[in-house]
């Protein structure tokens, strides 16, 4: 499973990249706003900085909702760097925009997916990725991981090439469960990625090893 970092924070991307395990980055308008970026040039420059920091794909989301605007914005975003994937919301206009961008050779990530039907339509339109949101489904008492598993199985049934990118990951268990159900990619904040390394027995074991090692210096 590929691991993407879900942030627009350059320091966090740098830290994750330095681990040598980072496969890509996802952003969204809320994550960009958190960085205090404003203005078209600053936004474009920020995406360029992120896209230069990693070899893998970087999802940059459109800020518009209408078909024509999304296509125009998508073309602009895709022109920033070849590893930029245009993130498009799963709406009627969004599905049309995914198809139009696909016809222009531009890769897309269909976001805000909460059911199988949305994932299937996005895939049929030619999305490179679909992003079902695990945590937000769990928040309303649904089962986000189960949706990932269902979409993975259905895409396999029909040899759908679209990759399933699990988003809205809130804890380490979500990441493990994504692997168990066969997600192609999971995107998570830095804390959740680093959280995979944490185990109290690793910490206590290392403490003992270091104490014993110091006796031999
Ligand atoms: O990539 C989408 C993701 O950032 C949403 O996460 O935690 O806001 O539901 P969250």
Entry pTM = 0.96
Q: What does the pLDDT average to over 80-85?
A: 98
Task: Determine what percent of the chain is predicted with pLDDT higher than 70.
Answer: 100
Distance, in Å, from the CA atom of 109 to the CA atom of 62, rounded to the nearest integer, reads 11
pLDDT tens digits along 15-70: 999 999 999 999 999 999 999 998 999 999 999 999 999 999 999 999 999 999 99
How many beta carbons lie within 10 A of that of residue 52, not counting itself? 12
How many beta carbons lie within 10 A of that of residue 19, not counting itself? 12
Whether 167 is in the pocket of ligand 1, judged by its Cβ within 6 Å, is yes
Q: What does the pLDDT average to over 107-127?
A: 98
pLDDT of residue 30: 95
Confidence of residue 7 (pLDDT cuts 50, 70, 90): very high
CA 205 to ligand 1 centroid distance, Å: 35
Reading the block at residue 23, the tokens are 């496969």
DSSP 20: T
Confidence of residue 132 (pLDDT cuts 50, 70, 90): very high
Confidence of residue 217 (pLDDT cuts 50, 70, 90): confident
With contact defined as beta carbons under 8 Å apart, do 114 and 133 qualify?
yes
Q: Closest Cα to residue 58, out of 8, 101, 18?
A: 8
Q: What are residue 171's phi and psi, to 5 degrees?
A: -150, 170
How many beta carbons lie within 10 A of that of residue 62, not counting itself? 24
| Probe target for ligand 1 pocket from 89, 135, 178, with the most ligand atoms within 8 Å of CB | 135
With contact defined as beta carbons under 8 Å apart, do 174 and 145 qualify?
yes
Our CA angle for 165, 170, 171, nearest 5°, is 105
Distance, in Å, from the CA atom of 84 to the CA atom of 154, rounded to the nearest integer, reads 27
With contact defined as beta carbons under 8 Å apart, do 97 and 70 qualify?
yes
Atom 4, ligand 1: residue with shortest CA distance = 168
pLDDT of residue 38: 86
What is the chain's mean pLDDT, rounded?
97
Whether 136 is in the pocket of ligand 1, judged by its Cβ within 6 Å, is yes
With contact defined as beta carbons under 8 Å apart, do 195 and 12 qualify?
no
CA 212 to ligand 1 centroid distance, Å: 44
Which residues are identified as catalytic?
87
Atom 10, ligand 1: residue with shortest CA distance = 168
Atom 8, ligand 1: residue with shortest CA distance = 168
CA 172 to ligand 1 centroid distance, Å: 15
Indicate the length of the chain as a whole number. 217
Atom 9, ligand 1: residue with shortest CA distance = 168
Helix (H, G, I), strand (E, B) or coil at 78: helix
CA 208 to ligand 1 centroid distance, Å: 39
Atom 6, ligand 1: residue with shortest CA distance = 168
With contact defined as beta carbons under 8 Å apart, do 70 and 106 qualify?
no
Distance, in Å, from the CA atom of 151 to the CA atom of 55, rounded to the nearest integer, reads 27
pLDDT tens digits along 134-153: 999 999 999 999 999 999 99
Whether 133 is in the pocket of ligand 1, judged by its Cβ within 6 Å, is yes
């Amino acid at each position: 499973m590929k691991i993407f970092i879900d942030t627009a924070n350059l320091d966090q991307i740098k830290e994750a990249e330095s681990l040598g395990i980072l496969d890509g980055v996802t952003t969204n308008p809320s994550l960009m706003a958190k960085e205090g970026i404003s203005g078209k040039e600053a936004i474009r420059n920020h995406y360029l900085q992120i896209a230069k920091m990693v070899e893998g794909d970087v999802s940059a989301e459109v800020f518009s909702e209408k078909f024509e605007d999304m296509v125009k914005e998508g073309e602009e975003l895709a022109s920033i760097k070849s590893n930029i994937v245009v993130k498009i919301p799963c709406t009627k206009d969004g599905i049309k925009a995914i198809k139009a961008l696909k016809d222009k050779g531009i890769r897309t990530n269909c976001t805000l997916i909460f059911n199988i039907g949305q994932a299937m339509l996005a895939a049929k339109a030619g999305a490179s990725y679909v992003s079902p949101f695990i945590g937000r489904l769990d928040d309303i008492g649904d089962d986000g991981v189960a949706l990932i598993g269902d979409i993975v199985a259905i895409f396999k049934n029909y040899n759908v090439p679209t990759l399933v990118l699990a988003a809205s990951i809130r804890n380490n268990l979500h990441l493990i469960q994504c692997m168990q159900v066969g997600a192609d990619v999971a995107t998570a904040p830095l804390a959740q990625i680093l959280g995979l390394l944490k185990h109290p027995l690793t910490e206590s074991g290392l403490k003992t090893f270091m104490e014993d090692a110091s006796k031999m210096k």
